[in-house]
Amino acid sequence: MPHRRDTSGWVRLVPVLLLLPVVILFSVGYVVPLAQLVLKSLRHDGAWSLNSYIEIANSPAFLWIVLRTIALAATVTIVCLLIAYPLAYAISKCPPRPAAFLLVIVTLPYLTSVLIRTYAWIVLLSPNGPINQLLLHLGLISEPLQMVFNSIGVYIGMVQIQLPLMVFPLYAVLARVNPSLAKAAQSLGSPPTDAFLRVTLPASMPGVISGCTLVFLSSLGFYITPELLGGPDSYLIAQGISLRVLILGNFDEAAAQSSILMLTVIAVFLVFRQRIAEELDDRPHNNIPLAGKSTSGLSARWPILERLTAVLHGPSMRLHEALTVVGRPALYVSAGLTLLLLVLPFVVVIPLAFSDAPYLTFPPPGYSLRWFSSLLKNTQWLDALSFSLRWAGLSALLSVAIGVPAAFALVRYRFSARVPVYLLLISPLIVPHVVIAVSLFFALAGSSLIGNPLAFALSYTIIGAPYTVVVMIAGLKRFNRTLELAAASLGSSPLVTLRTVTLPLLLPTLASAALFAFIVGFDDVVFGLFLSGPTATPLPMRMWDNIRLEISPQIAVIAVLFLIVLALLMLLRLFVSAVVQSRRPQESLHH
């Protein structure tokens, strides 16, 4: 008689129970509205029809918008790759402490609201802004360049905003590439640059692919930066959609355009699902595909190519040696410039907050706290701030509450729907927020939920939970499960082990997860555009209106406050992990 634990039926139910809350919420607040959106696009005057799509296809304006969007996304992706790679490479070569510091410099802009960074770029690029002033001063130009409210501004702003998204995956892979690989290649006769090309670069391809996918997909649906930095002649697809919903009331076409955008993004996402799902497990990332292996085990190459490389061997080695000499300084200069680009917005925003001018001008003629006190006197801003704090905070808690059990289920259990559920839970990271917001707008239209804080809680949770899931999965994968076995062998039931060992050790991870989820909601503009009402106006909506209508140093004050809070939270997180790592010895025996 085969002995199985007679709890096995229950064991199989555990992941289901863990996933139930998040799956229910995602079904109701995300999958169903998106499905309704697609259905809506297929109906016209109460009947099934492809009318909206035909209309779109016949509109040259829309085709231009699509082309412009793709061109922008592709260009931004390539530029990001070219300037992020040297930086990521340089960081991966740094000793741990400087590397951690540099990563904070990359993370800081990533955590700072897109709205604030876009605002900074308006200031930086404006005709009398610091960049034009510098160029004029250097005599490089005779009159100010028009760099804002046209596509130049959009390109510059987008590159800076998307950069961290490229640096992270590149760094993750480069840091993992075994440094002794390149050293081994050098010892076998490759000059450093050649070793880089043959060993490091191929090994970092997974990071290049992840980074490019992330940047390209999120650029396709970008709204805030193009809307604020671009001109009326450089519309992109997300702007087209919101224009149709908010101004023109052309819902059918908006639904059709949203469906096209979403399905394109999902298609690309699914093409790369293998690589994305790998994040779930610990398969090695840096396996170089061995293409075209011949029977000898040497890679097969055309004979002519073989002969050519033999002839060019001498000169190419000398070229590599020359490159090795200039390579290092070039690497550091390029990495330094990229870092400068990342921090540039803060360089203008921080002094601007202390401006004493009644309007926006840079550099400020003098310094005062007038904009701080004006913020404190303005109840509209304060109400918006408290609204955002409250509902983004609540959503962060909710995201943690549903995302953490889900991460446990995905990491700790094996079940057939595991990969699909994972892809579903992280998909809000790449489905454009405009599309999700439009779908919620349609789903909630007519109900009292538009303009209701609950709609914000729902949407903030849907865009925040993917971050908690991703952060927790990474934390759980790092977690040493032998500790749980040890606890069990010492007499802890699973729940007691969770309380006394697992959760205390995961506390820093939980804090990060909550912080990410909070910031995602706190920074949101897009949902605000569609779901705001007179009693429900989040802070970013106030900032949005300010930037569009009057553009004052008020935003800079918010940015500075935000940075202070962010710094405090980061310190708190460091403190939490420090406490976890080293509790004071004196309390050894007394709880």
Partner 1 sequence: MSVSTAMVSERATASVATSQSQRGSVSVNSLTKMFGPVKAVDDVSLSIEPGEFVALLGPSGSGKSTLLMMIAGFEVSSSGDIMLDGVRINDVPSYRRGFGMVFQSYALFPHMTIAENIAYPLRRRGLSGGDVEREVTKALKLVALDGYGTRLPSQLSGGQQQRVALARALVFRPPLLLMDEPLGALDRKLRQQLQMEIKLIHKEVGSTIIFVTHDQEEALSMADRVAVLERGRLQQCGTPRELYEQPATAFVADFIGEMNFLPVELRQAGGEICARSADLSLEVVQEASQVLTSGDRGLLAVRPEYIGLTPDERATATVLESAYTGTNQSVLVQVGCIRLTARTSVSPGRPLFQSGQRVRIEIDAAHTRVFPAAR
Q: Could you say whether residue 485 binds partner 1 (CB under 8 A)?
A: yes
Q: Which of 333, 496, 567, 572 binds partner 1 (CB under 8 A)?
A: 496
Is residue 505 part of the contact set for partner 1 (CB under 8 A)?
yes
Distances in whole angstroms, Cα of residue 401 to Cα of each of 20, 425, 475, 499: 12, 14, 16, 15
Using CB under 8 A as the binding rule, whether residue 588 contacts partner 1 is answered as: yes
Contact 119, 349 (CB under 8 A): yes
Residue of the chain from 488, 551, 561, 566 that contacts partner 1 (CB under 8 A): 488
- Other Cβ atoms within 10 Å of 199 Cβ, number: 20
Residue among 165, 501, 529, 558 that touches partner 1 (CB under 8 A) = 501
How distant is the alpha carbon of residue 273 from its chain centre? 17
d(CA 93, CA 377): 49
In whole angstroms, how close is the CB of 9 to partner 1 at the nearest point?
12
Number of residues that bind partner 1 (CB under 8 A): 33
Check binding of 9 to partner 1 (CB under 8 A). no
Residue type present at position 151: S
Residue 5 within binding range of partner 1, rule CB under 8 A: yes
Verify binding: residue 282, partner 1, rule CB under 8 A. Answer: no
Neighbours of 121 (CB within 10 A): 27
Residues in CB range of 457: below 8 A, 6 or more apart: 391, 394, 395, 398
**Binding residue (CB under 8 A) for partner 1 from 131, 177, 487, 515:** 487
Options 142-150, 439-447, 479-487, 543-551: segment touching partner 1 (CB under 8 A): 479-487
Given the structure tokens 């085709």, which residue do they identify? Answer: 63
Distance in Å, CB of 574 to partner 1, minimum: 16
x/- site string to partner 1, residues 437 to 476, per CB under 8 A?
----------------------------------------
Considering beta carbons, is residue 377 or 591 the nearer one to partner 1? 591
Our finding on whether 483 is near partner 1 (CB under 8 A) is yes
Q: Which of 494, 533, 545, 565 binds partner 1 (CB under 8 A)?
A: 494
Please report whether residue 416 would count as binding partner 1 according to CB under 8 A. no
Stretch that binds partner 1, among 347-355, 512-520, 530-538, 581-589 (CB under 8 A): 581-589
Pairwise CA distance, residues 81 & 413, whole Å? 36
Structure tokens at 464: 């925040």
Give least dist CB 414 to partner 1, A: 13
The residue among 281 and 550 lying less far from partner 1, judged by its C-beta, is 281
Among 288, 330, 486, 568, interactor with partner 1 by CB under 8 A:
486
493 lies in the site for partner 1, by CB under 8 A: yes
361 CB neighbour count, 10 Å cutoff: 15
List alpha helices for 354-448, DSSP H.
370-377, 379-412, 418-426, 433-444
Q: What are phi and psi of 410, to 5 degrees?
A: -70, -35
Q: Which two tokens stand for residue 521?
A: 């909601």
Distance CA 382, CA 388 (A): 10
Does 373 bind partner 1 (CB under 8 A)? Our answer is no
DSSP helix/strand/coil, 344 = helix
Q: Could you say whether residue 304 binds partner 1 (CB under 8 A)?
A: no
- Can you read off the two tokens belonging to residue 542? 């106030």
Report how far residue 414's alpha carbon sits from residue 411's, in angstroms, rounded to the nearest whole number. 8
Q: Which stretch binds partner 1 (CB under 8 A): 3-11, 177-185, 219-227, 309-317?
A: 3-11
Tokens 């908010």 locate to 246
Shortest Å distance, C-beta 588 to partner 1? 4
Does residue 305 belong to the site contacting partner 1 (CB under 8 A)? Answer: no
String marking each residue 561-580 x if it binds partner 1 according to CB under 8 A? -------------------x
Q: Which helix (H) or strand (E) holds 48?
A: strand 47-48
Q: For residue 202, what are its two tokens?
A: 């191929």
Of 209-217, 257-265, 359-367, 491-499, the segment contacting partner 1 by CB under 8 A is: 491-499
Among 58, 180, 294, 582, binds partner 1 (CB under 8 A): 582
The residues, any chain, with a CB within 8 Å of residue 159's CB and separated by 6 or more, are 76, 79, 80, 83, 341
Preceding peptide of 351 cis, ω within 30°: no
3-state SS class at 415 = coil
Please, which residue, 420 or 494, has the CB nearer to partner 1?
494
Q: Round to whole Å and give the CA distance between 244 and 52.
A: 13
Q: Is 256 in the site for partner 1 (CB under 8 A)?
A: no
491 makes contact with partner 1 (CB under 8 A):
yes
Looking at residue 249, its amino acid is G
User: Quick one: which segment of 1-9, 41-49, 86-94, 272-280 binds partner 1 (CB under 8 A)?
Assistant: 1-9
Reference 381, options 544, 254, 178, 257; nearest CA is: 544
Residues 511-540 that bind partner 1 (CB under 8 A): none
Which of 128, 178, 299, 500 binds partner 1 (CB under 8 A)? It is: 500
Return d(Cα 444, Cα 432) in angstroms, integer. 19
Beta carbon nearer to partner 1, 449 or 476: 476
Binding interface with partner 1 (CB under 8 A):
1-6, 480, 482-483, 485-494, 496-497, 500-501, 504-505, 580-583, 585-586, 588-589
